[in-house]
Structures are given as C-alpha cells and as structure tokens.
Structure 1
Amino acid sequence: MSTIRVAVVGAGPAGIYAADILTQEHPEVRVDVLERLPAPYGLVRYGVAPDHPRIKEIIKALRRVLSRDRIRFLGNVEYGTDLKLADLQDHYDAVVFSTGAATDRPLDVPGIDLPGSHGAADFVSWYAGHPDATESWPLDAREIAVIGAGNVALDVARMLAKPAEEQLVTEIADNVFQGLSLNQVTDVHVFARRGPAQVRFTPMELRELSHSPEVDVIVHPEGFEIDEASQAAISGNKSTRLVVDTLLKYVEAEPTGASRRIHIHLCQAPVEVLGTDRVEGIRTERMELQGDATVRGTGEYVDTPVQAVYRAVGYLGSELVDLPFDQTAGVVPNDAGRVLDLDGAAVPGTYVTGWIKRGPVGLIGHTKSDAAETVASLLADLEHAPSVDRDPDAIVAQLAERGVAVTTWSGWERLDAHEVALGEAAGRERIKVVPREEMLRIAKG
C-alpha cells in the first residue's frame, strides 16, 4: 500500500486531533501539520489567559501527538502567502484546514468604532503574547465596559481588574506585565443581555473572578430574573445550577472595599457607545425574560460612564484563499468536513475541521468528535482515489526556494526549552517569547 500524505493547515487542537486520528486510523498515513506561527498549539497557547495553567495542561497531550514519527510540524508557514491550495494539492493526497476562528464578531451599535472601543480577541492576543499582536496596549481607562456573557468576557474582565503583580507566577510575557503594571482601572462592568440561567460562563471561570484579594465581584440584583425556562435549565443542568448559585452568592456578598471591582449586569443589552472623539460611556437597555429564555426590551435605558469598551460577543473565522466561504457564519461550507463549492459539490481532497468547520462553539471534547467525523470522510474518499507516490521533501524544498524560514519540531523544542529556562531563572514555569524574529532565531539555534 502506498504512503498517503495529508496536510493539516493549523496546529491548534482541532488540527492536532485530526493528525492524531489520521495516524491511528490508517497505518500508511503521514501528516504534515502546517502552522503560520513559529509555535504550535493555536488558541491553547495564544487564546488562554496566562493565569489559567490548568487549561494549558492540554498542551501535554497535544505535544505527545506532534512528537510522533509519522507527524511532521512545519511552523512559520502561512497558507495563502507561502503556499496556495494548488501547491498543497501537488504535494498531498488530501488537505485538512483547521485554521479556527480568531477575529472578533462585529457588534452593530452606534459608536462602536470610537477610539477606546476594542475587540476582545485583539486584547486576548496581546495579553497571551501573540507574535502578531501590538507590543503595547492602552490601559489608561479607569472605568471599562465588557460586552458579552461568555468565558472570554470573564477572562477580559479578570485580566483588566487583576493587579499585574499577581500575574508574576504565570508565563506572562515581559511586555504584557509592563503594560498591565500601568493599568489605571478601578471598575469593570460586564453586560449580559439575558438572565443568570442563560449566561455562557462556566462555574470555574465565574468563581475565579473573586480569587484576587484586590478585586470585589458585584452582581447587581436588577436583572437577576428566573423565568420558567430558566428554572427548567437550572433543574436539568448541573453547570447552569452552579453558575446561578455562584451569581446569587455574589449578589448577597458584602463588598470588602477592594481597590478594584468587577460589576456584572444581567438583562442589559448595549444599544450605543457614547462619546464624541472617544469612548465616554455606554447606553444599555434593560431587558425582561419572556418565559422561554428569550428577552425583550423594556424601553428603559441606563447610561454608564466608561472610558473603554471591549466587545466579547464571539469569535469569527476568516476567509481562506481559494476556498468558498460563508461570510455570515464565518465558516467554510462543508458536509461532514468535505468542503463544498458554490454549487454544493464536494471539492476533491479538501476538508475542514474545528471552528472553521462548525463555528466557534463547543469545548475540547466537541473538537475531538468533530475531527473524527472529518477524518472518516477523508479516509472513505481515499478508498476511491488513485494512489500517487509523492516526495515528502518536495514541500520543504519549495518553501526553502521561496525563502520561508520554516520552524521544525526540533526548532520548536529549542524555543520551548528556552522559554522554560527563562521562567526557571525567575522562579516561574515559563516566560513566553513574543517577537516573531526572536522566536525564529532561537528555534534555528
């Protein structure tokens, strides 16, 4: 049986799980995992807050997969710039795109484009030490609004409110620590459109808001509504019940007088960002539950003075060169992972998995099952495809001809060891290297 060569574009969990399942399901499959950044792991490395080391434990499992003999990591290779679809089709029997969703979903309210208004994804990239993020971040606002009712909104609120010194036990990059040290914030207001049983917080994320002694969490009783659908959700889902119980404890808690506060406002929907030359406030409309977990506006408006706004209303996938794309959903049209062209026909040998396939929903477990579905489609299709002998070094030679400084797995291991050594010298687990040029220099050795 001939060797089957598959390219996986994107080295986050979705792509790595696809490579894992491919090599376990078929003994003749060899996988190249192509990643536009010099480092692997995607949003696990660049989308998780530095003070969440438990979530980063998943990296240990991902590392074991990427270190296998039949999987090759090629970092600092950008699809659409360094390689096009035709290049990949020349070198591989199949291509799986797992590029995720890393941009902010837009929020269409007046004033959202004022200076001082930010997308949460950009802020997350900055504090996570993403090499393409801005080096510094404006943190001169004393009062801040965060729009959203998911874990990203809580991460943003916590990172804004938590004193920088408390981050020194984490892998936080030096430029991020210096930026957070200048933070002027006193109050962070988180606005959720619906009630306590409809928010998308996880219990752990919600409890962690109060772990800093310098931060009080204040859940305002206005909007703390439980309708019939809410009660059913609380009774039928343990996670929902824990979230509502935690929110209720915050409602009943007495403030400690901490220097910083996180306010959670339920049943308040943003209608306008206020200001002339920059953000000066946010206007929200009070909402009321309808009995079926939906809400309607009451016509009562509340203005809250803030000097910055962060929208955390969801991620959105980005269009990929030479592939069809659903601009509204932010996904590549597909059937069980098979990419579909504009006429609804499957594009031969081309697949998607992860958030670029289904949108930014679900946890790690969903990503695994999602990858399994795509791999099943791929392997079924290969049974009917002609066998072609391909030179595994041809893609490396082509990238070298184009002047691409490819990061290999051994190069990543050098960079990884360097970051760990930086951390050990400071009594920490790791200190992340941020500039791309420095990452490449260290990886090259």
Structure 2
Amino acid sequence: MPAALADLGRLVRIPSVAFAGFDRAEVERSAAAVKSLLDDLAFFDRVEVRTATIPETGVEGMPAVLASRAARNGRPTILLYAHHDVQPVGDEDLWDTAPFEPTVQGGRLYGRGAADDKAGVMAHVGALRALVAALGDDIDLGVNVFIEGEEEAGSASFAAFLHENADALRADVIVVADSGNWDAATPALTVSLRGNARFTLGVRTLAHASHSGMFGGAVPDAMLATVKLLGTLWDDDGAVAVAGLAERDAATPEYTEETLRDEAGLPEGVRPIGRGTILSRIWNKPSITVTGIDFPTVRNASNTLTPELSAVLSVRVAPGQSGRDAYDAIAAHLRAHAPFGAELTFSDVEVGDPFLADTSGTAAAHARAALAEGYGTTPVDIGIGGSIPFIADLVGQFPAAQILVTGVEDPHARAHSPGESLHLDTFRHALVSEALLLERLDREGLGTAD
C-alpha cells in the first residue's frame, strides 16, 4: 500500500486532461509514467505506448499504454483496463485542496483522478506487484493491460485502437476497473450501466441582438425560447417526458431517501425528482441534464435580446435502448416543440450504448469470491447510472470474453466533481481483491469456482 499510494500521488500530480484545448503533452507525460510503472514490474513480454487514428477526423488519438504477457500451460488470459486521463478541474475555488496536489485527510486521498481512474490504474499495478511478489516467475496466467488515455473525453479512437491491437488485447476475461461499490465497506460487481447521448443544442431567434426595452414583449430572444423548449423535456415530477426514450423494468435493492441525500448532497427541503424506486430512477430510467450553456454571464449582462445561444445536453439512456435511438428521439422532440419558430441546430453529437452483464460465467464467481475475501464482506451486484460506452466496443470485438466491471470508488468519491477523493480502505481492499482474483485464475483457470 505505501508504494501504491506514493505512485498514485505521482500520477495525480500530472494534469492529464484529454479534452480539446488542454495540453496534450500532459497526457503523454501521464502515459509515460504508467509505462514506467509497468516496465518496473519486469513481468511483461512487452510494454508500449500506442495511439490510434480517429477514423471520422483523421486526428491522432491520445496515447494509451499496452502491455502483454502470454499465457502458459493452458491458463486463460485476463485483460486489465483502466484510464489515465482525467476530467477538467472546473472552478478551482470550489476545491478545498489543490486539484493536482494529492492530499490525505480523514482517511481519504483528495485530488483530480485520485479515484477516477488513476486509482484503477494503481489497483492493477499493485495487484500485479503482489502477484509477482508471491509467485515470482511461477505464473502461468496470461495478462494484458490496457490503460486508455481519452476515456473522459469520449474514447474517440477506442474502437480503432481495439481493431488495430486486437491480437495484443485478446483475452478470456476482461476487468474494467472504472466503476464503484455499494458503499465504502461493501464491494460490488457492476452488472448494468446506462448508455449516453451528448450533444450541443443551438437555439436562434434573431438575426442580431436588439434592445430589450425597445422590442421586449414582442420579440422572442434566444433565452426565452430555450427556457420554454427545455421545460418540455421533463414533467412536473422532474421525470423525463420525451416520447421514445425507453425504461427498463427490473427490480432494485432497498435504498432510502436519507441515503440519497447523504451521498448526493441533497439538502432538506429539496425534493428528489422522478417516480418509482430511487435506484430504478438512477439505474433503469433515462435522465436529461443541461451540463453547460453559452450565454452572457451575470457580470456581462446588459439590456439586450440575445439572438442565439448554445447548450450542452447530456442524456443517460436506459439499458436496452441504443444511444443512437435515444438521441434520435430527443432530437425529434426538440424539433417538434421549438417555440416561436426558433431555429435549432445539433452538433458535437456523441452516443454510447448501455451495458448489461452476463455474470453466469465462472469469472464472475471467481471475482465474487475474491471480493468477499479481500473486503471481508459479501459483494453485491449493482447497476450504475453512469455510462462506460466503450464496453459495447469490447463486447463487439471480443464476444466470447467474460467481462467484469469493478471499481475503487465509494458513493462519496465525487468523481467528475470538485473535491474528488479516494477512500483509502476501499482502495486497499480493491487492490487485495484483484490480487486474489489473479491468483485464483492462475491457480484454477476458468474451471468451476467454489
């Protein structure tokens, strides 16, 4: 643990944001640091930093790290996935600690990427260190490692990377360490994820800006049209009101409103939205969030009718519906409800499909046994309201592989938000559990798990 945490701290200090407008050199530096960690294991047949070209644009994708070690004596091969890129910081004034200065407080490590997903990287590295320390060269399990460099930015080159490196990535079991747990003490396998559809909506009502006193009351400005248009996306309970967006009918475990308030930071007096059980709203139903808007700021406000604006909409898609179908449904809804004849445009469209896991294989049984031993608590199967669209690409490229979605986050990790942090005990249990999983697969293969 001391070595794993020290190396995690060094990774957190690298601001590896893969979004456009940020320094690509930092993502390259992060990839080099991850490669060095894997090289130092002296375990792999090869460790390389690779990129792939995004087919739609011809632009080179962000650097990923690929390592491989061939299986021996009939043992299976496991692929360990995580990503080394991180979300932008946002407003630094909302952070209590410096985002790229790892800080330990109250049993948690604070910093951007401390949980999502550089802790996933270090869970893999730490588990492999433990395996090598315990077994030396007496390891027959094949191990491939894929540490992506652009997951937070949409994995634009992911499918191309899979295609170009299929032989080096091929595996019988795939562990995606980019999810969460039921709570800080209870481990989980993620068995369902929502898909996503993200796009920029443009709304235009005027050829040019005009004086709000001279023409207000007769001329619709872009904000008025946008407010009315966006208001049609939800009903009075805050549930999505878009025809064609599907819901999944599946049971969910008990989860109280008090737990929701604690984990989400929902104050007393503010009501939850939607209908049905709380977890059905998060796991099995669609949601729509406006995540950004271009409009004059409060500081720059003037008595002006604004002619146009842009807003980013993030749609979470229920398991069972494709991201493309969901986008088509919401785009049709917006066009049908555009007020005052407002002109709409749609750009920067990104879609990803949901994921429903098949946990009937022995890999899931091995994983549950390892989690129970590593955490000292029986694991649970959970859904996640978030999206990992590239898993659909993994399923498409490697349809016979058993996919396990695990994670190091707990509900208070605040991934993507100011104050992101990692619960240190959860990290320790996750690292040990993965080492135990690797040892079980090396010892028993994919035979019947007890």
TM range (shorter): under 0.3
TM-score by length of 1: 0.28
Higher relative contact order, chain-length normalized (CA < 8 Å, sep 6+) = 2
TM-score by length of 2: 0.28
